[in-house]
C-alpha cells in the first residue's frame, strides 16, 4: 500500500540522509518517477523532505526533524518485540541494555499499540539450542562481543580440531571481528585476517567461540570495517562450506537399507550429499558401502551407534575396534536373563 511505503520512505530518508531517487527506487522496487511523486506527497503532508544537488546531495529531512514512533502499526510493534532473543542477549551481556531500550520504546507507544507489543512476547518464545543439549555460554563471548561492537582487532588462541583422530592443536590468529552468529545453540565468530601482506591477507574465517581459549587486544586503533559487508548474506553463502571444514576425518561404513534411510537423521548434514553420491550399488544382500565424512572418530562413534546393527564400520581400524568392544559388551550384558528374573 502507498501509505505504508510513504512511512517507510520517510524513515529511510531519516536513517540514511543523502539517498538519491534511484537508490530509493531500488529499495522499494518502484520507478524513480514514483519516488518523486511520493516525496511530493510527503511534503504536502507536512514532512520537510528536501532534495539537494551535488556530490553530497540526495534527499534529506530538515535539520532537527524526527519522525514519531507513535506512528507504529500494532503488527509492526508485535514484530519489533519479537525480534529480541533473550538468551542471546544474555550471553552477550546485553540483557540489561535491551530491557532498558524496550522500556523506553514501550513508553513512547500509543496505548493500543503498546498492548499489541506486550501481547506478542507472551505468545512467542525462541529456544535456540537443540533438545537434550545443555547450552553453555563461552566465557570469552562478552569480551569478544565488545570487540565486535567497537571494531577492534583481537589476538585469539584457537583450539583447532585435529584431522583423522589426531589431538587438537592451538593456533594464534590476529583477526578483525566482524560479527557473531548463534547457530543451533553454538556461537560462531565471523572474522577477517588483517591486510598485512601475509598469506592470509584479507581472508575470511569462521571460528567456533567455545574453542577460543584466550583473547587479547590487538592494534590500539579500530580497524576500517568494509561497509559492503552483510553478515546475514555472508553466513548464508559460507555456512555450508564452513560446516564441511569441520568434517576432518572419513569413516567407511556398510549399511542396510534401513540404516541408509536413517543415516541423514543421525550424522552431520554437511557430509551426507557427498557420501551418498559416492555410495556403492547394493550387494547381493542389499548392503551399501560408502565413505562418510565425520568431525572426529569420537563423534562418528556416538552418531553411528544410534543405527545399531544397521551399520558396520569397516575403517578406520581403531573405530571398528571400538564398535567390536561395544558389541561384545552388549552381548555379554544381554546374553543372559537379568538376575532375579525368570
Give the model's pLDDT for residue 137: 81
- Is-contact 271 247, C-beta < 8 A? yes
Give the model's pLDDT for residue 10: 85
> 117 phi and psi, to 5 degrees?
-65, -45
C-alpha cell at position 310: 544397521
Query: What DSSP element (H or E) covers 227?
Result: none
Listed residue (191, 223, 198, 211) closest to 295, CA to CA: 211
C-alpha cell at position 125: 518464545
- Residue 155: strand pairing partners: 174, 216
C-alpha span between 31 and 305 (Å, rounded): 59
Q: How many residues does the chain have?
A: 342
C-alpha span between 316 and 220 (Å, rounded): 48
Query: What DSSP element (H or E) covers 231?
Result: helix 231-245
Give the model's pLDDT for residue 337: 81
Give the model's pLDDT for residue 249: 87
Give the model's pLDDT for residue 81: 59
C-alpha span between 140 and 210 (Å, rounded): 8
Q: For the chain, which residues score pLDDT lower than 50?
A: 197-199
Give the model's pLDDT for residue 198: 46
Amino acid at each position: 500500500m502507498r501509505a505504508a511505503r510513504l512511512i517507510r520512505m520517510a524513515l529511510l530518508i531519516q536513517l540514511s540522509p543523502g539517498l538519491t531517487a534511484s537508490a530509493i527506487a531500488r529499495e522499494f522496487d518502484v520507478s524513480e518517477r514514483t519516488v518523486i511523486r511520493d516525496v511530493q506527497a510527503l511534503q504536502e503532508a507536512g514532512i520537510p523532505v528536501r532534495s539537494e544537488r551535488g556530490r553530497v546531495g540526495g534527499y534529506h529531512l530538515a535539520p532537527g526533524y524526527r519522525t514519531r514512533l507513535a506512528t507504529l502499526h500494532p503488527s509492526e510493534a508485535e514484530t519489533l518485540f519479537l525480534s529480541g532473543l533473550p538468551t542471546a542477549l544474555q550471553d552477550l551481556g546485553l540483557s540489561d541494555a535491551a530491557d532498558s531500550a524496550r522500556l523506553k520504546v514501550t513508553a513512547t507507544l500509543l496505548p493500543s499499540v503498546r498492548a499489541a507489543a506486550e501481547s506478542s512476547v507472551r505468545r512467542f518464545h525462541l529456544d535456540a539450542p537443540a533438545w537434550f543439549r545443555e547450552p553453555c555460554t563461552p566465557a570469552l563471548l562478552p569480551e569478544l562481543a565488545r570487540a565486535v561492537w567497537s571494531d577492534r582487532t583481537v589476538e585469539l588462541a584457537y583450539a583447532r580440531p585435529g584431522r583423522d583422530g589426531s589431538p587438537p592443536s592451538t593456533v594464534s590468529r590476529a583477526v578483525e571481528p566482524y560479527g557473531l552468529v548463534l547457530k543451533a545453540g553454538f556461537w560462531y565468530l565471523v572474522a577477517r585476517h588483517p591486510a598485512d601482506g601475509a598469506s592470509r591477507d584479507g581472508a575470511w574465517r569462521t571460528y567456533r567461540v567455545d574453542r577460543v581459549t584466550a583473547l587479547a587486544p590487538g592494534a590500539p586503533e579500530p580497524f576500517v570495517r568494509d561497509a559492503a559487508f552483510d553478515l546475514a548474506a555472508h553466513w548464508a553463502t559460507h555456512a555450508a562450506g564452513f560446516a564441511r571444514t569441520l568434517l576432518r576425518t572419513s569413516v567407511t561404513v556398510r549399511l542396510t537399507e534401513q540404516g541408509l534411510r536413517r543415516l541423514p537423521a543421525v550424522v552431520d548434514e554437511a557430509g551426507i550429499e557427498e557420501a551418498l553420491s559416492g555410495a556403492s550399488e547394493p550387494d547381493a544382500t542389499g548392503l551399501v558401502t560408502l565413505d562418510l565424512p565425520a568431525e572426529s572418530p569420537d563423534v562418528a562413534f556416538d552418531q553411528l551407534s544410534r543405527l545399531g546393527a544397521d551399520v558396520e564400520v569397516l575403517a578406520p581400524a581403531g573405530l571398528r575396534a571400538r564398535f567390536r568392544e561395544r558389541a561384545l559388551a552388549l552381548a555379554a550384558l544381554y546374553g543372559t536373563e537379568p538376575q532375579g528374573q525368570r
